[in-house]
Amino acid sequence: MARLEWMLGITSSYFFQIRNDAYNLFSPSNIGIVRDIKQMGHSIGLHAHLGMIESYDELANNLVRDVEIMENMLKLPIDRYSYHRPPKAVLSLKLKIKGLINTYDGLFFEHRESNLEKVSVKYLADSRHQWKYGYPEERTIASHPKIQLLIHPDEWTIAGYDAKTNFRMLEDEKRINFRQTIRSECDHYTES
């Protein structure tokens, strides 16, 4: 997706979690991928998983620490963050951290329970393989002065698989990657 956007002259922000069992952001191959995305002119940010936070009072400190970890490991500047499935309580905090862009700041996002067509920033997201807040078609885009478009590239395929099939394909891919890792790291490994 980053390459397609680059070819079309589009720049985006790509957000990655550092606490995720599904992928290791800091593996050599993933660091290379993230650096390639940055080289194409895109921005890199923290996709903050809030599951380990015991109190919202510590949220800002945790975000700053996680950004520093990303910068140190990736050797790239990180100037933005986005929450992973933020609860309403987090959205209502309107957290501002010096030097970091919050994608849920009022400049980029307006939280409302109703009258969603009257928002200052139209939020479009493919969360859980569904466009619950509207589809990013030309008419929708043209009728709003600002749009935040959230896409999960890992949930879509060229073949157009549904979510269940796509996740099965991702499982297969992870299994293959895991075997390759074991094979390269453990010379006594034999496949059965």
pTM over 0.95: no
Residue 118 DSSP code: G
Q: What is the pLDDT of residues 84-127, one digit of tens each?
A: 988 888 888 888 999 999 999 988 887 766 666 667 888 899 88
Of the candidates 136, 113, 15, 130, the residue with the CA atom closest to the CA atom of residue 122: 136
Of the candidates 129, 141, 110, 152, the residue with the CA atom closest to the CA atom of residue 14: 152
In this prediction, residue 116 carries a pLDDT of 61
pLDDT at position 158 over 90: no
In the chain, where the domains are located? 1-109, 112-156, 160-191
pLDDT band at 145 (very low <50, low <70, confident <90, very high): confident
Distances (CA, A) of 120 to 16, 66, 108, 128: 27, 30, 9, 24
- Residues 35/74, Cβ–Cβ less than 8 Å: yes
Q: What is the pLDDT of residues 28-55, one digit of tens each?
A: 999 999 999 999 999 999 999 987 777 7
Of the candidates 104, 99, 67, the residue with the CA atom closest to the CA atom of residue 87: 104
